[in-house]
Amino acid sequence: MPARYDLPLTYSHLIRLERNTMMIITAILTSLMTPLLVVSAFNTSPPQSSSSVAKRVKSVNYFISRECNYKCKFCFHTQKNTNKLGIGNAKLGLQLLQHSGTEKINFAGGEPFLNPQVLGELCQFAHSECGMAVSIISNGSLIKSEWMDRYGQYVDILGVSVDSFDPATNALIGRGTGDTTKNQHVSRVLKVRELCAQHGILFKMNTVVCSLNHHEDMNEYVTTLDPYRWKAFQCLILQGENAGGVNDLNDARELQVTREEFDAFIQRHSDQSALIPEPNTVMQNSYLLLDEELRFLDCSENGKIPSQSILEVGVERALSQAGFDDDMFQKRGGIFEWTRDRAGSNDSSILK
Residues designated catalytic: 68, 72, 75
C-alpha dist (Å) from residue 76 to 125, 248, 303: 28, 9, 9
| Alpha-carbon span 280 to 159, nearest angstrom | 20
| Neighbour tally for 5: CB within 10 Å | 6
> What SS3 state is found at 160?
strand
| Alpha-carbon span 280 to 286, nearest angstrom | 10
CA 281 to centroid of chain Cα atoms: 22
C-alpha dist (Å) from residue 261 to 71, 132, 213, 298: 24, 37, 10, 27
β-strand pairing of 295-298 with 305-309: antiparallel
Left if phi > 0, otherwise alpha if psi is -120 to 50, otherwise beta: which for 343? Answer: alpha
| Alpha-carbon span 46 to 49, nearest angstrom | 5
Give the sheet arrangement for strand 133-138, strand by strand: 275-278, 229-234, 202-209, 157-161, 133-138, 104-108, 59-63, 289-290, 295-298, 305-309
Which amino acid does the sequence have at 236? L
